[in-house]
C-alpha cells in the first residue's frame, strides 16, 4: 500500500538522532489535495481500517491504543473524525484528557490513564494523554506544584523519571497485547495563527477559541523543546512516535491512516475458526433452519 510507505517516512526509528527542526510541518510528499490519487488513497485506507477493525473485534486478543498529541488547532479532532469514519463505533472508544481532577491528583500521574485503556478487541483513542505530564506540566511549573508530590521526588530528575516510567508503562502494554501508536501532529506557528483567526472570524467556530490559546503561543519555544525531548526519550519499537506534518489536514489524515493500517496488518489478525463440536452444532442449526417452512 502506497499509503503505508508514505507513513513510514514519519516514524521516528532513530530517536537519538531526532531533531524537530528537521521535520517540515507543510510536507506533502509531492501530493496535492486536488489530485484524485490523494483522495483515493484516503478512501482506500479508511476501507482497509474498517476491515482490520472488524477482525480485531472478532479476534478479541489484541487491543490498539492511538495517542494524539499536538499544539492547539493542529487538527486532532479532525483527523480522528475522518480517519475513523468507516469504523464501527462499537469497536472504538475515545478519551479526551482534560485537566486532572482532585481525585486524579491524589494518585500517581498514570492512574487515570490506566482506567481509560481499551479492552481486548477494541481501538482506544487518547486525545491528549499521559504525555501532558512531560509537556504542559513541564512548561507550567505551577501545575506540578498542584500535584503535591514529596520534595524528595519532585526535584530536577523528575522529568527523566517520568520518561522512564512512561517507557516502562508502554512496554508493559505491548507485552500484554496492546498495539501502541503515537502521533505528534506537527503544525507550524504560522498555520496555527491562521486557524485561530479562522475560528474567530467564523461564528460557528468561535466556541473553540480561548484567550488562553494566545497566551500559550508565547510559550511556543518551550513547548517545542519539550516535544523534542519527549520524542527522543519515548519513541521505541514497541510504542513508536510518528511526527506527522499537520499544516495540511488532508495529508495528516493520509499519514495516520497509513500508519494504522500497516501496524494493524502486522498483528496478523484473522476471524476465529469454528471447528470440532462447534462446527457440528452449526451444521445441525443450518439443517434445522433449512427444514423450517
Residue 123's DSSP bridge partners are 64, 92
Count of structural domains within the chain: 1
**DSSP 3-state assignment of 80?**
helix
Which residues lie closer than 8 Å to 264 by C-beta, 6 or more apart? 49, 52, 53, 56, 64, 179
pLDDT at residue 10 in the model: 98
Comparing CA positions, the residue from 60, 51, 122, 119 lying closest to residue 86 is 51
pLDDT at residue 18 in the model: 97
How do residues 228-262 score in pLDDT, each as one tens digit?
A: 999 999 999 999 999 999 999 999 999 999 999 99
Rounded CA separation 277/255 (Å): 45
pLDDT at residue 211 in the model: 82
User: pLDDT per position in the chain (293 positions), as tens?
Assistant: 588 899 999 999 999 999 999 999 999 998 887 766 777 888 999 999 999 999 999 999 999 999 999 999 999 999 999 999 989 999 999 999 999 999 999 999 999 999 999 999 999 999 999 999 999 999 999 999 999 999 999 888 999 999 999 999 999 999 999 999 999 999 999 999 999 999 998 888 888 888 888 889 999 999 999 999 999 999 999 999 999 999 999 999 999 999 999 999 999 999 988 889 998 999 999 999 999 97
pLDDT at residue 36 in the model: 67
* Cell digits of residue 71: 499544539
Burial class (CB in 10 A: 0-12, 13-18, 19+), 276: exposed
Which residue intervals of 153-219 are DSSP H helices?
Answer: 158-175, 189-201, 211-217
Residue 18 · residue 231 · CB < 8 Å: yes
pLDDT at residue 48 in the model: 95
**Edge-to-edge, what's the strand order for the sheet holding 92-96?**
92-96, 123-127, 63-70, 178-186, 241-245
Rounded CA separation 124/153 (Å): 31
In angstroms, the first-to-last Cα distance of the chain is: 48
- The C-alpha R_g of the chain, in whole angstroms, comes to 22
Residue 55 · residue 87 · CB < 8 Å: no
* Cell digits of residue 205: 467556530
- pTM > 0.85: yes
pLDDT at residue 209 in the model: 82
Burial class (CB in 10 A: 0-12, 13-18, 19+), 178: buried
Residue 213 · residue 292 · CB < 8 Å: no
Beta strand segments in 97-239, E: 123-127, 178-186
Quote the mean pLDDT of the chain.
94
Rounded CA separation 199/207 (Å): 8
Domain of residue 75, CATH code? 3.40.50.300
Rounded CA separation 137/135 (Å): 6
Q: Which domain holds residue 260?
A: 2-291
Amino acid at each position: 500500500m502506497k499509503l503505508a510507505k508514505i507513513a513510514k517516512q514519519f516514524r521516528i526509528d532513530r530517536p537519538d538522532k531526532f531533531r524537530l527542526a528537521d521535520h517540515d510541518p507543510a510536507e506533502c510528499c509531492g501530493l496535492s489535495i486536488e489530485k484524485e490519487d490523494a483522495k483515493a488513497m484516503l478512501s482506500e485506507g479508511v476501507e482497509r481500517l474498517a476491515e482490520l477493525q472488524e477482525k480485531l473485534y472478532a479476534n478479541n486478543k489484541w487491543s490498539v491504543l492511538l495517542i494524539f498529541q499536538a499544539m492547539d488547532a493542529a487538527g486532532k479532532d479532525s483527523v480522528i473524525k475522518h480517519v475513523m469514519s468507516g469504523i464501527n463505533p462499537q469497536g472504538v472508544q475515545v478519551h479526551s484528557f482534560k485537566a486532572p481532577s482532585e481525585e486524579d491528583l491524589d494518585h500517581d500521574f498514570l492512574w487515570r490513564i490506566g482506567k481509560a485503556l481499551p479492552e481486548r478487541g477494541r481501538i482506544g483513542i487518547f486525545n491528549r494523554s499521559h504525555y501532558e505530564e512531560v509537556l504542559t506540566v513541564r512548561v507550567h511549573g505551577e501545575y506540578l506544584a498542584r500535584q503535591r508530590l514529596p520534595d524528595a521526588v519532585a526535584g530536577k530528575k523528575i522529568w527523566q523519571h517520568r520518561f522512564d516510567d512512561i517507557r516502562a508503562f508502554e512496554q508493559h502494554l505491548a507485552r500484554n497485547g496492546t498495539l501502541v501508536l503515537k502521533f505528534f501532529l506537527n503544525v507550524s506557528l504560522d498555520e496555527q495563527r491562521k486557524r485561530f483567526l479562522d475560528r474567530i472570524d467564523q461564528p460557528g467556530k468561535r466556541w473553540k477559541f480561548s484567550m488562553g490559546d494566545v497566551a500559550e503561543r508565547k510559550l511556543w519555544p518551550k513547548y517545542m523543546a519539550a516535544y523534542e525531548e519527549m520524542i527522543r526519550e519515548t519513541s521505541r519499537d514497541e510504542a513508536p512516535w510518528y511526527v506527522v506534518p499537520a499544516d495540511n489536514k488532508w495529508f495528516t489524515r493520509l499519514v495516520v491512516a497509513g500508519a494504522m493500517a500497516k501496524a494493524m496488518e502486522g498483528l496478523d489478525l484473522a476471524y476465529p475458526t469454528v471447528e470440532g463440536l462447534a462446527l457440528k452444532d452449526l451444521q445441525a442449526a443450518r439443517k434445522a433452519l433449512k427444514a423450517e417452512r
